[in-house]
């Protein structure tokens, strides 16, 4: 008998095709780096999960993407647990501009925030199922 409460390992990648199966990408990024992980604890019934993705765009695509996003007034989330992200990126995210994530949501991912780092044309998606 196996232990059904063991948390499966996170999946990571840099391939656009796999990321596009999880999220909507209104514009094609130049590069992606993503991680999918269980959110909370595993138990009987549905298990919630999250995707954090770093998207690099050209200057033109970044501006076009921003034009279609609504600003978010929520607080900036902590990325301290996302140790797979470079420390410099985690620090920069503390001062990132925040936007609503509706343009990127693909069920079952139904909530989240988009973080934009203006000096680098980098967007970070933090999307989740619960």
DSSP string, 85-100: S-HHHHHHHTT-EEEE
Gyration radius of the chain's alpha carbons: 15
Q: Is 62 a domain residue?
A: yes
**CA–CA separation, 60 and 33 (whole Å):** 20
The β-bridge relationship of strands 111-117 and 31-38 is: unpaired
Q: Is 38 a domain residue?
A: yes
Q: Is 3 a domain residue?
A: no
Q: Is 72 a domain residue?
A: yes
| 54 compared with 75, residue with greater pLDDT | 54
Confidence (pLDDT) at 1? 42
Q: What domain range includes position 70?
A: 11-128
Q: Is 1 a domain residue?
A: no
Confidence (pLDDT) at 6? 64
Residues 68-89 have a mean pLDDT of: 91
Collapsing DSSP states into helix, strand and coil, what is residue 1? coil
Confidence (pLDDT) at 56? 98
Confidence (pLDDT) at 39? 83
Confidence (pLDDT) at 40? 73
**CA–CA separation, 1 and 113 (whole Å):** 39
Confidence (pLDDT) at 78? 87
- Residue-wise pLDDT tens digits, 26-74: 999 999 999 999 887 767 667 899 999 999 999 999 999 999 999 998 7
Q: How confident is the model at residue 7 (pLDDT cuts 50, 70, 90)?
A: low
Q: Is 101 a domain residue?
A: yes
Domain count, the chain: 1
Locate the DSSP E strands across 1-130. 11-13, 31-38, 49-56, 97-100, 111-117, 122-128
Q: Is 81 a domain residue?
A: yes
Confidence (pLDDT) at 44? 65
Q: Is 6 a domain residue?
A: no
Residue whose pair of structure tokens reads 């948390």 in the numeric block: 7
Residues 4-28 have a mean pLDDT of: 89
CB 16 within 8 A of CB 97: no
């Amino acid at each position: 008998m196996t232990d059904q409460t063991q948390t499966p390992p996170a999946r990571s990648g840099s391939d656009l095709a796999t990321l596009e199966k999880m999220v909507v990408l209104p514009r094609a990024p130049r590069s992606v780096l993503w991680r999918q992980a269980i959110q909370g604890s595993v138990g009987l019934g549905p298990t919630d999960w999250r995707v954090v993705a770093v998207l690099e765009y050209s200057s033109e695509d970044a501006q076009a993407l921003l034009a279609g996003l609504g600003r978010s007034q929520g607080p900036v989330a902590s990325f301290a647990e996302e140790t797979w992200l470079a420390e410099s990126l985690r620090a920069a995210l503390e001062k990132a501009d925040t936007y609503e994530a509706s343009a990127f949501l693909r069920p079952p991912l139904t909530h989240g925030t988009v973080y934009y780092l203006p000096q680098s044309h980098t967007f970070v998606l933090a999307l989740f199922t619960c």
